Amino acid sequence: MSEATKRLLWITLAALAAAALALWGASAVTWVDVPPGTVFNGELRDEISGSDLVTWPTPLALLALAAMAATLALRGVARRVLGVVLLAVAGWVTVLVLNGSAYDVDLTTRAPGYDAIPGDPERTWLGPATALAAAACYAVAGAVLAWRGHRMPRMGAKYSAPGEKKERRRSGNPDSDLWNALSEGEDPTTRDR
């Protein structure tokens, strides 16, 4: 494999890892700053994080981690299909962030004694921007896999089930021959000496 295809594999894995981290971060950072005394889900809150507003960041972060494993395990057309799926996920995350449904919650309820304190809930940019960065990482990984995924190296090619049994040469080193036989799925104790 050429260095370029190895580099593309590392870029894809790094983009998926960044997407997972960004989505996990989006679930933890503040999406809405609320005035003192605001009640949200029965609790007095000063801020509302992404995990309080929406449920999708954490599962999509886990999907990015699963896509990393699939990128290493798959080959050929299956890897290209994974790339198309990741591009669709990137579009879906973008729609989820930009449609504003995360903010369709009642933030007007105030706790007793806080009614006189002025202030309105304010949306922050950090949470949605982090989720959009994750969508961009998903898009990069998906585009690279759809474009060149079939040419990238894969994990475990040595251990794939062979179509035909190859004649194995012995190296003359019994230890090396033993390990090579085990790697090829043979029982070295049953072979002729």
DSSP calls for 29-67: SEEEEEEEEEEETTEEEEEEEHHHH-SSHHHHHHHHHHH
Question: Which pLDDT does position 189 carry in this prediction?
Answer: 74
> 125: which DSSP letter?
S
For residues 18 and 77, state if they share a domain: yes
For residues 166 and 155, state if they share a domain: no
Provide the residue-wise pLDDT of the chain in tens; the chain has 193 residues.
577 777 888 899 999 999 999 999 999 998 888 877 777 777 767 788 888 888 899 999 999 999 999 988 888 899 999 999 999 999 999 999 998 777 776 667 777 767 777 777 788 889 899 999 999 999 999 999 898 877 776 665 555 555 545 555 666 787 777 787 777 777 777 766 5
For residues 99 and 75, state if they share a domain: yes
Domain that holds residue 140: 3-160
For residues 176 and 156, state if they share a domain: no
For residues 87 and 156, state if they share a domain: yes
For residues 129 and 156, state if they share a domain: yes
For residues 10 and 76, state if they share a domain: yes
Tell me which amino acid residue 147 is.
W
Q: Locate tokens 């990128």: which residue?
A: 71
Number of domains in the chain: 2
The structure's pTM equals 0.72
Q: How many residues does the chain have?
A: 193
> 190: which DSSP letter?
S
Phi, psi for 156 (deg, rounded to 5): 75, 25
For residues 14 and 66, state if they share a domain: yes
Exposure string over 98-108, b if 16+ CB within 10 A, otherwise e? eeeebeeeebe
For residues 154 and 168, state if they share a domain: no
The C-alpha atoms of residue 139 and residue 145 are separated, in whole angstroms, by 10
The C-alpha atoms of residue 29 and residue 179 are separated, in whole angstroms, by 51
Nearest by Cα to 132 from 106, 94, 189, 102? 94
For residues 141 and 191, state if they share a domain: no
Handedness of CA 87, 130, 26, 108 (dihedral sign): negative
For residues 106 and 172, state if they share a domain: no
For residues 149 and 185, state if they share a domain: no
The C-alpha atoms of residue 110 and residue 89 are separated, in whole angstroms, by 37
